[in-house]
Structure 1
Amino acid sequence: MSRVVLVHGIAQQVKGPETLLGSWLPALNDGLHLAGADALHHEDVSVAFYGDLFRRPGHRGLGEPPLTASDVQPGLEHELLLSWWQGAADTETQVPGPDAPARLRTPRTVQRALNALSHSSFFASLTETAMIGSARQVRRYFNEPEVRQAAADRLAQAVTGDATIVIAHSLGSVVAYETLCAQSHLQDLTLITLGSPLAVRGIVFDRLCPAPHNGRARWPVPVKRWINIADRGDAVALVKDLGPCFGSRVRNLMVDNGARAHDIQPYLTARATGVAVAEALA
């Protein structure tokens, strides 16, 4: 049975657990190598995969139908794109901020956000359809109870009695937090969150279940150790310090992922991640 359970983030709908494990495990072992620890084997690690919950049913035509600014729904999708925009502008000089005058006449704030994000080192590799689709997955997770519950069920099934570590990236950190809060019978787990948006108030934090009280969220009972790792330029992990929201027991670490600030591979290959995993396994 697996000792380490990996939880992915958004935009993984056309992959699967074995596909992700094939790329995540070597990266994780690179981080362990930098930490001077032994490598993990395939049987030591599993992926709690929920990406297929966002996969569109088959349809005529080729590829995903294009999405434009006019397809962005008001509320969470709109707020999330603006949050990413502000985060990218705060850390990358080439990204014009929300308060900067637009060089081109764009009738919608959303279109300005999409145009600005196209200059970001992380979002530049994504089409408008991919950016909007990513925001839509977050909105669906929070607004569609059946999707939220199904994702939690996938993780709950993966965390068996042999599991000691849950490593969760991006939206996966939300899935991990909510699931572990509901699994009070588990114990002695280490939670490692990578590029987590958990503490972004007004967008993620205030939508968590269980709901925060007086500005503080509940500590997940099964977790004895929580290490949160973020890149300074990660626009998704807009709030790097989870302590004010989740308590001083969270250990926050910073890494440098280069131009791929939010990507999972550089998070896993970081020595800080390797040390956190090695300490938990020991």
Structure 2
Amino acid sequence: MKIIFIHGINQQNLDAVSFEKHWLDVFNIGLDRNNLNLDAEDFRFAFPFYGDILTSYNFKNAINLDMARLNYNFFDKLPSFLERYRKQEIPLQTTDDVPLLPHYEYDLNYSLKNKFLLLSQLAKDRALKEMVILLNHFPNLHESLVEKFVAEAYLYWYKPAFKQAIHDRITACFDPNEKHIVIAHSLGTVIAYNVLQELSADYHIERFITLASPLPFNVVQRHIHEPMSRPKGLQGDWYNFYSRDDYLTTFPMVAPLFDFEPRIQNKLITTFVDRPHEIIGYLQHPSVIRCIFEKICNFSSNLVD
């Protein structure tokens, strides 16, 4: 069994080694907190890193946003608001200071100051969530903002060489003689879906797990050239974990857009109030950990038989 982790946007401050370490740290915290152990002989990990590919493109020149089209006061102020929000970067954590989800912290006692900070962050995330829901009805405007603030998505949609370079790196992790679990986060879920659609049925995907996926958004769907369908190599089930507090993953994957059988198993979870979209909240979540662990254990027991 091979477990393939596919990351999302804004990973350029990492390299392949630090990316793998960070995700393994978060994953191991989830295993430890759920009192679960994995036998390393039964599976292998793969962490295809593509953040470095972005640095080889002059993406600033690829962005052409005509802000003159945005005439309304709300949208005039929106880019500067998003720019300030994006600049609130949080440094990569080590194993010791990756925060634990509230699910594991039974004796949390927040100071009054921290409570106000959390409430403020929650209000900001809710505002962004409402804005994204509104933008979902205006895909042209939504795409203009994507061009400005999400360079990876812009390049992935409009630069075939960039897209192919990413696909090649991820596809190289698959082996037609092996079974796989694919776990993807954020923009990585869009990439993973496209890669799985390109793979032949000779590849065996035992479980596809999407975390914080923007696939249901109209702005993403306009770049999916065929109607959404179940990947040919997906032998098992598709689990989608989303959070209503996460402004980039507001919607579940349901019909009519995701109208195929077996149905996607949508799981609503809660992550961090102050960082609802980050992998640190999804990959250590007990529901996600159990979803991965149960498939590995079933496979391991089959090996014994």
The two structures share one fold, judged by TM-score above 0.5: yes
Give unmatched runs, 5+ long, in structure 2. 89-120, 129-145, 299-305
Q: Is 2:38 the partner of 1:26?
A: no
- Give the equivalent residue in structure 2 for 1:205: 221
In structure 2, what is the Cα distance between the partners aligned to 1:4 and 1:231? 23
- 1:157-187, CA deviations, whole angstroms, 9 ceiling, x for partnerless residues? 0122434211100010011000001102212
Larger-gyration structure (1/2): 2
In structure 2, what is the Cα distance between the partners aligned to 1:40 and 1:8? 24
- Give the equivalent residue in structure 2 for 1:222: 233
Kindly indicate whether the alpha-carbon contact (under 8 Å) linking 1:10 and 1:134 is maintained by their aligned counterparts in 2. Answer: no
Secondary structure of residue in 2 paired with 1:153: helix
1:241, distance to aligned residue in structure 2 (A): 3.1
Q: TM-score, normalised by structure 1?
A: 0.71
- Give the equivalent residue in structure 2 for 1:190: 207
- Give the equivalent residue in structure 1 for 2:137: none
- Give the equivalent residue in structure 2 for 1:232: 244
Please say which of residues 232-241 and 42-51 is displaced more in the overlay.
42-51
Q: Is 2:68 the partner of 1:51?
A: no
Q: List structure 1 segments (4+ residues) > 4 angstroms apart after TM superposition.
A: 40-43, 106-109, 112-119, 121-124, 131-134
- Superposition pairs for residues 154-193 of structure 1, below 5 Å? 154-160=169-175, 161-184=177-200, 185-193=202-210
Q: TM-score, normalised by structure 2?
A: 0.66
Q: Is 2:152 the partner of 1:137?
A: yes
Secondary structure of residue in 2 paired with 1:207: coil
The amino acid that maps onto 1:44 is R
- 1:60-107, CA deviations, whole angstroms, 9 ceiling, x for partnerless residues? xxxx99x9xxx76259xx9xxx9xxxxxxxxxxxxxxxx9x76xxx95
- Superposition pairs for residues 44-123 of structure 1, below 5 Å? 44-56=44-56, 73-74=65-66, 107=76, 109-111=78-80, 113-114=82-83, 120=124
Task: Tell me the C-alpha RMSD between the 2 structures.
Answer: 3.6
Percent identical:
24
Kindly indicate whether the alpha-carbon contact (under 8 Å) linking 1:164 and 1:280 is maintained by their aligned counterparts in 2. Answer: no
In structure 2, what is the Cα distance between the partners aligned to 1:52 and 1:116? 24
In structure 1, what is the Cα distance between the partners aligned to 2:277 and 2:66? 25
1:250, distance to aligned residue in structure 2 (A): 0.6
Q: Is 2:268 the partner of 1:254?
A: yes
In structure 2, what is the Cα distance between the partners aligned to 1:179 and 1:172? 10
Aligned length: 235
1:116, distance to aligned residue in structure 2 (A): 7.4
1:189, distance to aligned residue in structure 2 (A): 2.6
Q: Is 2:189 the partner of 1:150?
A: no
In structure 2, what is the Cα distance between the partners aligned to 1:244 and 1:121? 28
In structure 1, what is the Cα distance between the partners aligned to 2:267 and 2:174? 25
Kindly indicate whether the alpha-carbon contact (under 8 Å) linking 2:147 and 2:154 is maintained by their aligned counterparts in 1. Answer: no
Kindly indicate whether the alpha-carbon contact (under 8 Å) linking 1:164 and 1:188 is maintained by their aligned counterparts in 2. Answer: yes
The amino acid that maps onto 1:169 is H
In structure 1, what is the Cα distance between the partners aligned to 2:267 and 2:222? 23
Kindly indicate whether the alpha-carbon contact (under 8 Å) linking 2:243 and 2:250 is maintained by their aligned counterparts in 1. Answer: no
Q: 1:132 to 1:252 in 2, by over 3 A?
A: same
1:123, distance to aligned residue in structure 2 (A): 11
In structure 1, what is the Cα distance between the partners aligned to 2:78 and 2:37? 49
Kindly indicate whether the alpha-carbon contact (under 8 Å) linking 2:147 and 2:153 is maintained by their aligned counterparts in 1. Answer: no
